[in-house]
A and B are shown apart, each in its own frame.
Chain A
Amino acid sequence: MVTLNSKIPQGPLSEKWTKYKADQKLVNPANKRKLDVIVVGTGLAGASAAASLGALGFNVKIFCISDSPRRAHSIAAQGGVNAAKNYPNDGDSIGRLFYDTIKGGDYRAREANVYRLAEVSNNIIDQCVAQGVPFARDYAGMLDNRSFGGAQVSRTFYAKGQTGQQLLLGAYSALSKEIKAGTVKMYERKEMMDVVLVDGKARGIITRDLQTGKLERWFGHAVVVATGGYGNVYFLSTNAMNSNGSAAWQCYKKGACFANPCYVQIHPTCIPVHGDYQSKLTLMSESLRNDGRIWVPKNIEDSVAIREGRLKPTDIAEENRDYYLERRYPAFGNLVPRDIASRAAKERCDAGYGVGTGQAVYLDFSSAIKRLGKDKVEARYGNLFQMYEKITAQNPYETPMMIYPAVHYTMGGLWVDYELQTTVEGLFAAGEANFSDHGANRLGASALMQGLADGYFVLPYTIQNYLSSEIYSQPIPTTVPEFDAAEKAVAEKIEKLMSIKGTKSVDTFQKELGHIMWNKVGMGRTAQGLQEAIPMLKALKEDFWANVRITGDTNSMNPELEKALRLSDHIELAQLMAKDALHREESCGGHFREEHQTEEGEAKRNDEQFMYVAAWEYQGEGVEPQLHKEELNYEFIKVQQRNYK
């Protein structure tokens, strides 16, 4: 059984990281060359970690699913990246970014980690600028900022509507430089299928070559998992098609605790669902909420008329529009955090005021166009408007956009200590794959910050504290029984899946899983719904293993098999999510239990009983996982009810 030790350094909050760095053990250059580090994933977290570790002199191997490291899902982030630079002189500071992040996360994140994140945020911007990331600039040639949800200052740096792309290409360029230098070896189209433990320590991984189907073994003195989040458990999400929680799940099954699986972020501004053939949902950046105003008709008859096509949104007079966010939250208005904006949209639609299919609200730019002129609006959001028009064939300059919340990000993930080490020695997790710094809700533009903080500025230090004790460990040959057993288990799983030869396609199961999760473990959760979800998921798992049909072969490229393998893990992960959501008898951040709300319909936390991180430990197939609690102590921040009014 594991014991959770968060390894938070002693001392005042603002000195912890400095002190840690001063005290930690380092590895000398000659020894670095002898140490192998495996990094899985080439998103912001993985690419930045591998590039930094390679530059330090370690032998790095890095893996990804796609055909090039540049294509990781991080590329799709639009809005921006936060940092406490305070360039606009509007009162920002490390302390304020720290405070906003803790509060935004509904007091469910670890203070020391979040403070460190805020501290290194400024280095990220400097690093990216030095790499040639073309951030937006003002006419003086200085870096420009915009504001994002959950903050009253402008601290978000951006590169048009393609910030993730530019940051990832920056990290990819740093990675490319190390690949050229020979310190990092890149392996594309190879999917991690398991982590290999020798004497209780992570010592390598098993991968499947997605072109040949070949299973391969890789040794590392340490393994870093930076494989992103598990939003695709819901089938429809804003995540890329190949994003998956499979690698994290394999780590869980090898003993790494999985923390807060029920904390899922539902993003308020996505293009609504329009057909059952739909494969994914498209995000409209949160930055749109800077100038767009969200509304539904005030009168239910108008909503009905719009849904039936008898009225157009532009027919509704100003006084008959309900700008419900501005009404309910005058202080933050349209810029309330995501969980709040999403729930407010659901509330209006459930009450019958929705437009479109009934599951949509308006995001209107007409006042911004009046105030700023079309050119300025175009300069700010042109590419997003274009993207919207391409998908919906509607012109947002003339008619308001329609939006609805969609699954977007997972705050939960592998439990890690202050050093980003999981409960398995030598196994580290970075980026969205860990349970990270966002508590129960992540603020906009903070995932990019966290991914790069982990990869550039945290792991390169903390992993050395571990590796310094490994300098006497000779590389383990991948012929030892532990590697044999791990590879055999993967081969057997694949064989079993292929031999089912059932009647239902993988997509049928994906959609069914998504359906259960969205309806019962989605935006508004109830004990009853969750209790229904648990047997449904169990039945789905049985059905899957009895009736899935996978065509094609195992020794060449086979996307059906890839999907099936990930889905088999997602079904199990979904079970844990439901279990976690049921156990957490409170509402906090992205986890909203309808039984626990205030009279005004706001989330009601239960700090007395639930001010902890729920870390689940695998106990074996068919056995209930064990819950470990990491109590959260707020020494520096006064815990309050979150208020954006």
Chain B
Amino acid sequence: MNLTLKIWRQENARAKGRFETYKVENISPDCSFLEMLDILNEQLVDKLSHPVCFDNDCREGICGMCGLYINGRPHGPDDGVTTCQLHMRRFKDGDTIVIEPWRARPFPVIRDLVVDRTAFDKIIQEGGYVSVTTGGVPDGNAIPIPKKNADEAMDAAACIGCGACVAACKNASAMLFVSAKVSQLALLPQGRPEAARRVQAMVAKMDELGFGNCTNTYACEAECPKQIKRSNIARMNREFLCAKVCSEE
């Protein structure tokens, strides 16, 4: 199939960006979206231009590195997939595809479609862990964990940190991302001792880094490629309230 691409090009964080239009031809429907961009980049190299920069690594939906705003939706038109898992069979011959980077204040553009998501790491550094160090821990089976809790914790832990939730949210809120980590650890006995401190510190950091408030539109849940549930946000709110009440006592 033949396609027209409108791609956001921006030299660096300070430069003014613009859309450029490109054409790609003879794209196989079995080709992945990123492979289609590889083909475009081969063309650009051929014409001695600078290839389009876009982040990617695993190309199987697990590392969270890819992330493009495609025709107005983070990770494109399919639900529950990352950009790298999107295939061209989803598009039609003659389509025009608009490709942009995540747009959110805490994720500044580095170049073209690449943004800086280190803000997520900073939030995790505030408490997205159990404070154990290596060694001196009990046997793995010493504390039984109800299967239901373990499964729910796993579902929350499946977040790949891609940032689509932030990009999808009109307030650039990071609630879904933060609540996924808070929930995972809140559901496990290992995470309980630090639960109150954790949720407060992570939420404070999130606010400090300029992520917006949650106004319950749940665009995040709809666009999350790992289908992280909004119930995590509810759990985090409970944890947060509880932590506040307890610390005020």
Query: What residues make up the interface of A, taking CB atoms closer than 8 Å to B?
Result: 48, 51-52, 55, 66-71, 73, 75-76, 85, 87, 123, 125-132, 134-143, 159-160, 162, 164-166, 169, 172-174, 176-177, 179-180, 186, 188, 211, 240-242, 274-275, 277-280, 282, 387, 390-391, 393, 456-457, 460, 505-507, 549-553, 556-560
Contact = CB atoms under 8 A, between A and B. Distances in A.
A173 B130 contact: yes
Given A188-B118, A277-B28, A507-B38, A71 B138 contact: no
B132 A131 contact: yes
A129 B137 contact: yes
A71 B65 contact: yes
Contacts of A506: 45
A240 B63 contact: yes
Contacts of B153: 132, 134
Interface stretch (B54-62, B213-221, B232-240): B54-62
A507 to B, nearest CB: 6
Given A127-B134, A131-B132, 15 more contacts: A67-B118, A71-B65, A73-B63, A76-B58, A123-B135, A125-B140, A129-B140, A132-B191, A137-B147, A162-B62, A172-B124, A279-B59, A391-B32, A550-B45, A551-B51
B107 to A, nearest CB: 10
Contacts of A186: 121
B30 A67 contact: no
A241 B59 contact: yes
Contacts of B39: 277
B140 A126 contact: yes
A176 B11 CA distance: 31
A132 B65 contact: no
Interface string B211-249: 000000000000000000000000000000000000000
- Best-buried of B41, B53, B141 by chain A (most CB within 10 Å): B141
B57 A240 contact: yes
B133 to A, nearest CB: 4
Contacts, number: 222
Interface string B115-140: 01110110011101111111101111
A125 B140 CA distance: 6
A280 B61 CA distance: 13
Contact of A559 (B42, B53, B117): B53
Contacts of B110: 211, 557
A557 B53 CA distance: 8
11 contacts: A67-B116, A67-B118, A71-B63, A73-B63, A76-B63, A87-B141, A127-B137, A141-B147, A280-B60, A387-B61, A457-B134
A411 B56 CA distance: 25
Q: Give the bracket for the number of chain B residues in contact with chain A.
A: 35 or more
B101 interface: no
- Best-buried of A134, A143, A240, A387 by chain B (most CB within 10 Å): A134
Contact of B62 (A76, A130, A134, A138): A76
Contacts of A138: 147
- Best-buried of A66, A128, A274, A275 by chain B (most CB within 10 Å): A66
Contact of B140 (A143, A159, A242): A143
Nearest to B136: A130
Interface stretch (B68-76, B81-89, B92-100): B81-89
A505 B46 contact: yes
B158 A162 contact: yes
Interface in B172-197: 184-185, 188, 190-191
Nearest to A157: B140
B45 A560 contact: yes
B2 interface: no
B138 A126 contact: yes
A165 B62 contact: yes
B188 A134 contact: yes
Contact of A177 (B120, B129, B146): B129
Contacts of A176: 121, 124-125, 128-129
Contact of A390 (B41, B81, B140, B144): B81
Given A280-B59, A553-B50, A52 B129 contact: no
B110 to A, nearest CB: 6
A129 B188 CA distance: 10
Nearest to A54: B133
Contacts of B157: 134, 159, 166, 169
- Best-buried of A67, A70, A123 by chain B (most CB within 10 Å): A67
Given A130-B130, A279-B38, A557-B111, A73 B125 contact: no
Contacts of B65: 66-67, 71
- Best-buried of A162, A177, A211 by chain B (most CB within 10 Å): A177
B1 interface: no
Contacts of B128: 173, 176
Contacts of A162: 62, 158
A394 to B, nearest CB: 11
A86 B181 CA distance: 31
Given A71-B57, A73-B57, A169-B157, A132 B188 contact: yes
Minimum-distance CB pairs A-B, first 9: A141-B144, A173-B129, A130-B137, A55-B133, A134-B154, A552-B50, A134-B153, A52-B134, A129-B140
B106 interface: no
B145 interface: yes
Nearest to B85: A390
B34 interface: yes
A527 B148 CA distance: 56
Contacts of A68: 117-118, 120-121, 161
Contacts of B53: 557-559
Contacts of A505: 42, 45-46
Contacts of A137: 144-147, 150-151
Interface in B18-57: 28, 30-32, 34-35, 38-39, 41-42, 44-46, 48-51, 53, 55-57
